[in-house]
Amino acid sequence: MRSIYFLLAGFLLLSAPAGAQIYFGGEVGVNVSSYTGKQSGTNRKMRVGETFGFIMSKDITWHLSLVSGLTYARNGYTLNRDGLIYKVGINTLEIPLNLECEIGRPKKVNYFIGGGPYVAANLGGKTALSGLFPTNQDLRVGYGAGDDIRRYDAGFDLWFVVQPTKGLFFRARCNSSFFNLDPSKYARENAMRNQDLRITVGYMFE
């Protein structure tokens, strides 16, 4: 977690020279995640969760901004194996460091596209097993052979924003991780990388 906090502090220091103004905002919405790859020959299925966070933005030029912040997402997947259904929910914190470009001239409805890298930390979660004897257990996060998912991740995201009025916006955002998040000795056979789609509504204060 320290590396994530240092990255966030670094963004503030690098993007805010004396006299520069940073805009703040927040957003909330729905996250549809899918961990691509196979596990024991069975495909993982997508899961729906919540997402929310706060945003920092600084104008570089008239149409280009540097955007960061801190986002929580409820990631996960569903796995059907041998008649048993495993529902995995993962609590993830992300920090993006992206560029956003306004499309066209400022008008009543504004449009933006953005993208760039992000770093993430999987903080924990739950695995729910349905069947004759349903159970719940904590998700094991780490790098050991007995863990369920790796702690840290990084990837790339892209988004499209519609701003119908000043401050209010709607965002469609897709993320894709770079790394295999399976820490087990079968990581090559069970490779999994997070991909998700988020639809959010938010507000930027100016």
Looking at residue 117, what is its pLDDT? 95
Residue 95 in contact with residue 69, Cβ under 8 Å? yes
List, in order, residues 6 or more apart from 184 with CB less than 8 Å away: 145, 146, 147, 190
Q: How many CA atoms lie within 13 A of 68 on its CB side?
A: 21
Looking at residue 39, what is its pLDDT? 57
Residue 142 in contact with residue 113, Cβ under 8 Å? no
Tokens of 104: 């066209």
> What are the boundaries of each domain within the chain?
2-15+33-158+175-205
Looking at residue 109, what is its pLDDT? 87
Encode 113-129: b = buried (16+ Cβ within 10 Å), e = exposed.
ebbbebbbbbeebebee
Tokens of 133: 């004897």
Looking at residue 86, what is its pLDDT? 81
Parts of the chain with a pLDDT under 70: 1-20, 37-43, 131-134, 185-190
CA–CA gap between residue 194 and residue 67 (Å, rounded): 22
Residue 148 in contact with residue 141, Cβ under 8 Å? yes
CA angle 58, 64, 69 (to 5 degrees): 40
Q: Name the helix (H) or strand (E) containing 10.
A: helix 2-15
Looking at residue 170, what is its pLDDT? 97
